[in-house]
Chain A
Amino acid sequence: MTYKITRDGDISTIYLTGEIDMDVTEKAKEFIMPVIEEKKEVHLNLKDVEYMDSSGISVLIESHQKAMELGTRVVLKEISKSVLKVIMMAKLEQILILE
């Protein structure tokens, strides 16, 4: 997994690439959570995420909940087909913010 963060006004966008599994979730949280703590809207761009398992889904839930606590939001953008399938299997499409 690799990532890139861009900031444009009140929105920070994190572009994730590759496979997100148990082996990389701690690393993912290390760079996602501080961006959420800036209390700006965070866009997680998942266009180039080829694979995500339950550990990756946990990162999405944790990010969403952290943002809600801080009065901001995490928006999932350009979700790849394979990630969308897993989000829907977990019945999270109505809970997480998908655009």
Chain B
Amino acid sequence: MDISETKDFPVSSKSLREIREFSREVISKSSILEESKDELILAIAEAAQNIVKHAYKDNQDTTDKMQIKISFNSNKLEIGFFDKGKPVIEENIKHRSLDDIKPGGLGTYFIQQIMDEVVFKESTGWHNNLVLTKKY
């Protein structure tokens, strides 16, 4: 079953619950995805959280929206995140060493553990387009 669903959310930590609900709803449409639902929800929520926390670090009162697109075709899951926050410098994105025990810095690590590929792409009309993919 092919899936392609898109939804906009206000850029705010208050949207995270709604993002998880949307993601759960979409993922539950595929029995293949359903098996790794918890991990996928975590990856999606962490990526959305990074937009709020980093791309809008200096603009927490924004009225901007972010867009999330979840597609599943030919056993390939692709999750796109679109935002108009501060452009991400990909080289600067790194998770902390797991041996350096301190709060923070784990979200990106979780995303990389869960997904096969994590890339930023060009997207007209948006400042950042993060794409997470996983093959089944």
Inter-chain CA distance A92–B98, complex, in Å, is: 9
Checking B38, B52, B98 against A85 with a beta-carbon cut-off of 8 angstroms, the contacting residue is: B38
Q: How many residues of chain A have a CB within 8 Å of chain B?
A: 22
Known contacts being A22-B13, A89-B113, is A58 close to B42, with CB within 8 Å?
no
Q: From residue 8 to 45 of chain B, which have CB atoms closer than 8 A to chain A? A: 13-14, 16-17, 20, 38-39, 41-42, 45
Q: Is A59 an interface residue (CB 8 A)?
A: yes
Chain A residues near B45: list those with CB within 8 A. 21, 53
Q: Is A79 an interface residue (CB 8 A)?
A: no
**Across the interface, do A53 and B42 meet the contact criterion of CB distance under 8 Å?**
yes
**Across the interface, do A58 and B113 meet the contact criterion of CB distance under 8 Å?**
no
**Interface on chain B toward A: helix, strand, loop, or mixed SS?**
helix
Q: Is A28 an interface residue (CB 8 A)?
A: no
**Across the interface, do B46 and A53 meet the contact criterion of CB distance under 8 Å?**
yes
Q: How far is the CB of B91 from chain A (nearest CB, A)?
A: 21
Checking A22, A58, A59, A90 against B98 with a beta-carbon cut-off of 8 angstroms, the contacting residue is: A90
Q: How far is the CB of A62 from chain B (nearest CB, A)?
A: 5
Q: Is A82 an interface residue (CB 8 A)?
A: yes
Q: Is A15 an interface residue (CB 8 A)?
A: no
Q: Is A91 an interface residue (CB 8 A)?
A: yes
**Across the interface, do A19 and B17 meet the contact criterion of CB distance under 8 Å?**
yes
Q: Is B120 an interface residue (CB 8 A)?
A: no
**Across the interface, do B98 and A53 meet the contact criterion of CB distance under 8 Å?**
no
Q: Is A86 an interface residue (CB 8 A)?
A: yes
**Across the interface, do B41 and A51 meet the contact criterion of CB distance under 8 Å?**
yes
Chain B residues near A19: list those with CB within 8 A. 17, 20
Further pairs besides A53-B110, A54-B49, A91-B98: 10, Cβ < 8 Å:
A19-B17, A23-B13, A23-B14, A53-B45, A65-B101, A65-B102, A82-B38, A85-B38, A90-B106, A95-B101
Chain B residues packing against A (C-beta within 8 Å): 13-14, 16-17, 20, 38-39, 41-42, 45-46, 49, 52-53, 98, 101-104, 106-107, 109-110, 113
